[in-house]
Structure 1
């Protein structure tokens, strides 16, 4: 049975498409019968990895982010690709490609919809333990990434102070600190 709050989608079109996301335009009918339109960002599923070295440091990346015109410190993350059957499949690939590290153990932490009022984005958070630098980075043509390690408590403090502003990373660090540590 449909929820009384549900909207009915009448038509769906792609208003704009580019590598990484689409802008979707829908004509919808609201529960009271009003017809209107709704646009949203279709990005799909991504993974965010909290990679811990054997001695407990976190593998972090520094990456140029054109939208905010600065280098951003963050956890490795990336979109699921067509050949990823499940979010877990994307974890090893993203960690290796962005950092050159590989994990001994990986487990799911949390799944979030960070902006479901205007986007269908889903972030799957994973803990990767026993991470060692065993491979070379395999960056996409438009990625500029520097890799480093940092103490977990230092990163957590950088969230508190506002120095670490990447929302995906902040959620992952805080979730781990609150529920897993």
Structure 2
């Protein structure tokens, strides 16, 4: 900010004591692993307190709601070590540093995870799914005309099996809390809300 007295839509003003934004005075990677980093920021809080803040630092991700020509949805069954069970949900993946076209990244991730390729890919939603602990941004796409015309190309630490289900069964599984995957639940419900 060049002028602390100026009003800020997100943070209030410096003079009225209502500012919420923190000042980052330094930032560094504390730990790196495949897929994400843990970053530590040195920050100054609105009341002047200086402290640090750790969060997951990861590239933008794409999440795909893929429809076959018959109207079924392509899902993935994937082992999730953090929760110790197989997760059923939408295909998703991180973008690469040189990805400037997220629709192309969504085409690539769909093919790599499922072996399905899409005729069309259209963005319909963007979310910050865990912005209290991560800088993740998820870009949601609906893919149409998906057919199994490619080979899966999984990362060394992925255990994934593609499957299909009807959209109605997927929606019911989300509504009945049978699907616990947050990315999937959010994507399906946002898609359903946006349908004409």
TM range, normalised to the smaller chain?
A: over 0.9
> Cα offset for 1:26?
1.2
Q: Counterpart in 1 of 2:146?
A: 131
> Cα offset for 1:49?
0.2
> Cα offset for 1:45?
0.5
Task: Point out the structure with the larger strand share.
Answer: 1
> Cα offset for 1:89?
2.2
How far apart are the structure 1 equivalents of 2:66 and 2:96? 20
SS of equivalent to 1:49: strand
Spell out structure 1 runs of 4+ moving beyond 2 A: 1-5
| 1:19-58 → structure 2 map (5 Å cutoff) | 19-58=34-73
Q: Which moved more, 1:6-15 or 1:102-111?
A: 6-15
Please say if residues 59 and 96 of structure 2, whose CA atoms lie closer than 8 Å, have aligned partners that are also in contact. no
> Cα offset for 1:136?
1.1
How far apart are the structure 2 equivalents of 1:86 and 1:105? 14
| 1:151-166 → structure 2 map (5 Å cutoff) | 151-166=166-181
Unpaired runs of 5+ residues, structure 1, are none
SS of equivalent to 1:25: strand
How far apart are the structure 2 equivalents of 1:122 and 1:86? 15
Q: Counterpart in 2 of 1:106?
A: 121
Count of aligned residue pairs for this structure pair: 181
Per the normalisation by structure 1, the TM-score is: 0.95
Per the normalisation by structure 2, the TM-score is: 0.88
- Candidates 15, 31, 38, aligned match of 1:16: 31
Q: Deviations over 1:66-101 (max 9, x none)?
A: 111111101100000123113222111100001111
How far apart are the structure 1 equivalents of 2:28 and 2:155? 29
| 1:59-78 → structure 2 map (5 Å cutoff) | 59-78=74-93
Pair 1:147 & 2:131 matched: no
Q: Which has the higher contact order (CA 8 A, sep 6+)?
A: 1
> Cα offset for 1:27?
1.2
